[in-house]
Amino acid sequence: MSTPPTILVFDSGLGGLTVLREIVRTRPDAHYVYVADDAFFPYGHHGEDEIVARVVPLIGELIEAHAPDLVVIACNTASTIVMADLRDAYSVPFVGTVPAIKPACASSKTRRVSVLGTRGTVKREYTRKLISDFAQGCEVTLVGSGELASLAEAALSGQAVRDEDIATELAPCFVGNGPADPGRTDTVVLACTHYPLLLDRLTKLAPWPVDWIDPAPAIARRVSDLLGAPGTESDTAGAEMIFTSKRPHTLSAALTPFFGGRVPA
Ligand code: DGL
């Protein structure tokens, strides 16, 4: 392990910043490289074979260029399909991001849970298996959103996003006859890393209050466990942000909080 360790965080776009933010809080000692594969965004609109063919060689190039100590695939749409191929191809430790169905079903009181992800993630065999293994008797509704990740990108980039557009994507998560129905949905799994970017809006637009389950803190704990105890040195090398489209940075002020206050190069 190098000192400070380098952690590479990868997503199709800006969603993985919600995972990065938690990892940086847990491990301020590390050096961060965040890669947004925006040239291929949104992953939710691509087939499984296309995603594997895109991500596996791209991660190889990134490992070659940045020599990370650990790679986080901060994308459910990719993690539910590429993790085995990545682990077969490269020796670096990987941490993936998959729908947090187990903790959601363990904590639901009404026993009705919704999983809100991209269309790709909700179709995956991997996601279906998580439900059959971990639903613990809960009714689980899979909701595939075609637009929410793009709406989250737009909002973080400072564009106006209409409440109606978010509410339309959210509505199928809410099963039941209103807040007094004892069988209503009470827990929604945020199964796309973009969605916590919109958490305030989701909370405001929800027809009744629910628990939103974001796996980012659990991922950060897993990363920290794999890295071992932090060194005493803090990162002096800062952090890097890479867009595969090679578009120039225009977002530094919006991005800095996700990097724990560092301005990414
Ligand atoms: N952030 C990605 C995820 O967690 C998906 C967004 C996309 O469709 O590219 O699934």
Token code pair at residue 252:
């530094």
Q: Is 12 in the pocket of ligand 1 (CB under 6 A)?
A: yes
pLDDT tens over the chain, length 265 residues: 667 899 999 999 999 999 999 999 999 989 999 999 999 999 999 999 999 999 999 999 999 999 999 999 999 999 999 999 999 999 999 999 999 999 999 999 999 999 999 999 999 999 999 999 999 999 999 999 999 999 999 999 999 999 999 999 999 999 999 999 999 999 999 999 999 999 999 999 999 999 999 999 999 999 999 999 876 666 555 799 999 999 876 777 889 999 998 888 8
* CATH of region 6-97+217-255, choose from 3.90.1200.10, 1.10.599.10, 3.40.50.720, 3.40.50.1860: 3.40.50.1860
Crossing angle (nearest 10°) for helices 125-134 and 76-89:
100
Q: Is 71 helix (H, G, I), strand (E, B) or coil?
A: strand
d(CA 10, CA 20): 9
Cα 143 to averaged position of ligand 1 atoms, centre (Å): 14
d(CA 238, CA 17): 16
Q: Is 193 in the pocket of ligand 1 (CB under 6 A)?
A: yes
With CA atoms as reference, report the closest residue to 174 among 244, 228, 130, 113: 113
C-beta of residue 70 within 8 angstroms of C-beta of residue 5: yes
With CA atoms as reference, report the closest residue to 58 among 71, 77, 76, 42: 71
C-beta of residue 213 within 8 angstroms of C-beta of residue 187: yes
Residue of 76, 153, 245 to mutate, ligand 1, most atoms within 8 A of C-beta = 76
Q: Is 79 in the pocket of ligand 1 (CB under 6 A)?
A: no
d(CA 11, CA 41): 9
Determine the CATH number of domain 101-214. 3.40.50.1860
**Ranges of each domain in the chain:** 6-97+217-255, 101-214
Instruction: Please state, in angstroms and as integers, the Cα–Cα distance from residue 111 to each residue in 88, 99, 186, following that order.
Output: 37, 17, 8
Q: Is 44 in the pocket of ligand 1 (CB under 6 A)?
A: yes
Q: Is 13 helix (H, G, I), strand (E, B) or coil?
A: coil
Q: What is the pLDDT of residue 233?
A: 60
Residue of 192, 197, 243, 245 to mutate, ligand 1, most atoms within 8 A of C-beta = 192
Q: What is the pLDDT of residue 100?
A: 98
